[in-house]
Structure 1
Amino acid sequence: MTDARKKTSSATGATAAPPPAPSSAPALDEGLDARLVVERGSSFRLDVTLTAAPGDVVALLGPNGAGKTTALRALAGLVPLSDGGRMRLDGAELSRRPPESRPVGVVFQDYLLFPHLTALDNVAFGPRCHGASKAEARAQAAGWLERMGLATHAGSKPRRLSGGQAQRVALARALATRPRLLLLDEPLAALDARTRLDVRAQLRRHLADFEAVAVLVTHDPLDAMVLADRLVVIEDGRIVQEGTPSDIARRPRTDYIAHLVGLNLYRGEAEGHLVRIPDGPALTTADDLTGPVFVAFPPSAVTLHRGRPTGSSARNLWHCEVTGMEAHGDQIRASLAGELSLAVDLTTVAAAELDIHPGSEIWATVKASQTHAYPA
């Protein structure tokens, strides 16, 4: 982990229980070691191996139906593992343990706060279930709410809380039992865009202080990039790529991941600087490789011309048709098809000057220096 992601201990309030003493167990018996095998009839099989050391934050990404939420529920014990599955946490086998006896905290997408309880009593619920007296549990809960910046909302019921406040109460409730595994299911999905920005920054700080393993499921690549040390991408119940956010963003290996990080991606056969795409044109790249490769470049690297350009230094030139246009932040993203299918980003001024619209014929160029080729 980078220094920015190293975990540090922090107080949870004067009356809260002290953090557990450092374990003397060998490193291989610390953290998460799981193979999640779940079968749903003959239509779907999840088979995913996850390992993480204490202090790691792992994000599960993937399209709808890939198996992300199933994996999270299997970790929580809400879905039984099929033959071949295992779940070890800090060296203890948890596969057969019921959910309530696992040292696992869960923050659900809709938070699932008890509507009839105050924020304080929602957070105190976990310690009470673990044997703390009412006074002890409430004292610990008060410490967690103070840490979350919610001390003044201790007496509020969920209906009186904003989305961001409810999310922090749910996080405090999950952390109050001092879990060794924290699971977060789309933790920011219920928030509006402005609140999401603030809560994402707050959640990052809280996860940086968490000394055990955290696993989050999200559809939002920005949430994953900001919050996680490592990304695990799942498609059709299998891991298709995993690595650091920078590795994933720089070297996507499937169309889903390329779309997620905003890159045009192609697979082909390299002969030096030339990459031949099956049923498509050859691409010239700055990288000198041989054999199966991926080639990627951002939509912003593409330059459009109404007529075939002359005198251009770009080594890649394709004749295409505009098939779609949509707003993309403060720019326009155009979809092109023809000799090569690709996405292009351009300003509204450029779009107006080129007078492009769906159905327009266009020439697209990309310099070899703006492409990135890497082994497939």
Structure 2
Amino acid sequence: MTRLEETSTGRQPAVARTAGLDARIVVERGSFRLDVTLTAAPGEVVALLGPNGAGKTTALRALAGLVPLAVDGRLLLDGSALDRTPPEARPVGVVFQDYLLFPHLTALDNVAFGPRCRGASKAEARAVAANWLERMGLADHAGARPRRLSGGQAQRVALARALATRPRLLLLDEPLAALDARTRLEVRAGLRRHLAEFEAVAVLVTHDPLDAMVLADRLVVVEHGRVVQEGTPSDVARRPRTDYIARLVGLNLYRGVAEGHTVRLDTGPVIISTEVLTGPAFVAFPPAAVTLFRERPSGASARNLWRCEVAGLETHGDRIRVDLTGELPLAADLTTVAAAELGLQPGITVWAAVKAAQTHAYPA
């Protein structure tokens, strides 16, 4: 939005300051081009999701100033252009995947490092650091060096160090990836609490859908350097638009052309749904919605039935994930008892059934 201001040299356009993040992250490296538009309001947590090589970490490094933007990129934070601002001068805090704590400094001095770099006296910086360690539940570990800290404690020290400078943009690069499963659960809950209290913009890079769903207000999915889908976690999980997202949220996903309750897939088969649509459409259903039979069922109520072949089996949580090929390639989740009773093994023929009410069709 622009407005006109009177100046000594006449009426000149001025840009109104806008709170939050407004960025077009354009980075070129050889044949790879990252071009991602990212906006966020203060208090919002945005998660960047995508497969390896999609450009997530490159985007984060560009926001931090560690990778230069191309000429057609932009980076505005609270209305101020940061494109040419050096990393150390940006109001940005970063939590790296391996935390990068200084091994020779105590937890207190690690957290005090940022304020000291911003001009605070040693006493002031240590007071700020002590306050943050207390907020993180680490007051008793202020004198410990990183090697004496657990993974969860080190993560909280790294977060405290990033927040101690009162950044207007907080960047988190796979902040829970280095933790074991049990510690991850506890630290994730704590991180969510701290992010909920953070008044500026936070951008999280992760490959873990649960981290993204729990921590973020909005998901931005990047593939091959481009945004392919964005929305709230529930919207993205319910209406995936690429195979990567469907796998991420655990759905079978297909694309076709809808006419009424019928979606004819691009690959040939038909899926019946309860939704009424016309035109290009996606249709999805969870693996748990699939029922398998060794013989073609005669009295099954499911309106979707396909002849398939077992391509593979693997343990998936407390269930068996069955990979099927044939009329409709799909994944099915069965209990171990059901899989044993069916005598499933690679190469055998089965019939896969899904009720129309368990599918979800939506415009492509």
Q: TM-score range by the shorter chain?
A: over 0.9
2:106 maps to 1:115: no
Q: Hey, what's the Cα distance between the residues in 1 that align with 2:197 and 2:343?
A: 52
Which of residues 308, 314, 320 is equivalent to 2:296?
308
Q: How far apart are residue 111 of structure 1 and its match?
A: 0.1
Q: Hey, what's the Cα distance between the residues in 1 that align with 2:269 and 2:17?
A: 49
Q: Hey, what's the Cα distance between the residues in 1 that align with 2:274 and 2:45?
A: 35
AA of the residue aligned to 1:270 = A
Q: Taking structure 1 as reference, are residues 226 and 49 closer, same or farther at Cα in structure 2, changes over 3 Å only?
A: same
Which of residues 232, 235, 246 is equivalent to 1:244?
232
Q: Which residue of 1 aligns with 2:305?
A: 317
Q: How far apart are residue 28 of structure 1 and its match?
A: 6.1
Q: Hey, what's the Cα distance between the residues in 2 that align with 1:242 and 1:278?
A: 24
Q: Taking structure 1 as reference, are residues 273 and 28 closer, same or farther at Cα in structure 2, changes over 3 Å only?
A: farther
Q: Hey, what's the Cα distance between the residues in 2 that align with 1:46 and 1:72?
A: 11
Q: Hey, what's the Cα distance between the residues in 2 that align with 1:179 and 1:361?
A: 58
AA of the residue aligned to 1:116 = H
Q: Hey, what's the Cα distance between the residues in 1 that align with 2:17 and 2:85?
A: 21
Q: Which residue of 2 aligns with 1:160?
A: 148
Q: What root-mean-square deviation, in Å, do the aligned CA atoms of Structure 1 and Structure 2 show?
A: 0.9
AA of the residue aligned to 1:29 = T
Q: How far apart are residue 360 of structure 1 and its match?
A: 1.4
Does structure 1 conserve the Cα–Cα contact (< 8 Å) formed by 2:51 and 2:244? yes
Q: Which residue of 1 aligns with 2:18?
A: 29
Q: Which residue of 2 aligns with 1:289?
A: 277
Q: Which residue of 2 aligns with 1:375?
A: 363
Q: Which residue of 1 aligns with 2:209?
A: 221
Q: Which residue of 2 aligns with 1:349?
A: 337
Does structure 1 conserve the Cα–Cα contact (< 8 Å) formed by 2:255 and 2:280? yes
**Residue 260 of structure 1: SS of its match in structure 2?**
helix
Does structure 1 conserve the Cα–Cα contact (< 8 Å) formed by 2:25 and 2:75? yes
Q: Which residue of 1 aligns with 2:42?
A: 54
2:287 maps to 1:299: yes
Q: Which residue of 1 aligns with 2:3?
A: none
**Residue 212 of structure 2: SS of its match in structure 1?**
helix
Q: Which residue of 2 aligns with 1:96?
A: 84
What is the TM-score when the length of structure 1 is the normalising length? Answer: 0.92
Q: Taking structure 1 as reference, are residues 301 and 27 closer, same or farther at Cα in structure 2, changes over 3 Å only?
A: farther
**Residue 153 of structure 2: SS of its match in structure 1?**
helix
Moved over 2 A (4+): none
2:136 maps to 1:148: yes
Q: Hey, what's the Cα distance between the residues in 2 that align with 1:343 and 1:279?
A: 17
Which of residues 338, 350, 359 is equivalent to 2:326?
338
String of CA shifts for 1:214-256, please: whole Å, max 9, x gaps: 0010000000000000000000000000000000000000000
2:29 maps to 1:40: yes
Structure 1 stretches of 5 or more lacking a match?
A: 1-25
Structure 2 stretches of 5 or more lacking a match?
A: 1-14
Q: Taking structure 1 as reference, are residues 316 and 179 closer, same or farther at Cα in structure 2, changes over 3 Å only?
A: same
**Residue 159 of structure 2: SS of its match in structure 1?**
helix
**Residue 96 of structure 1: SS of its match in structure 2?**
coil
Q: Hey, what's the Cα distance between the residues in 2 that align with 1:278 and 1:243?
A: 26
String of CA shifts for 1:53-105, please: whole Å, max 9, x gaps: 00000000000000000000000000000021000000000000000000000
Which of residues 115, 119, 137 is equivalent to 1:127?
115
Q: How far apart are residue 163 of structure 1 and its match?
A: 0.2
Q: Hey, what's the Cα distance between the residues in 2 that align with 1:356 and 1:269?
A: 33
Show the 5 A alignment for 1:251-262.
Answer: 251-262=239-250
String of CA shifts for 1:154-193, please: whole Å, max 9, x gaps: 0000000000000000000000000000000000000000
Alignment size in residue pairs: 350
Which of residues 341, 355, 365 is equivalent to 2:353?
365
Q: Hey, what's the Cα distance between the residues in 2 that align with 1:280 and 1:171?
A: 51
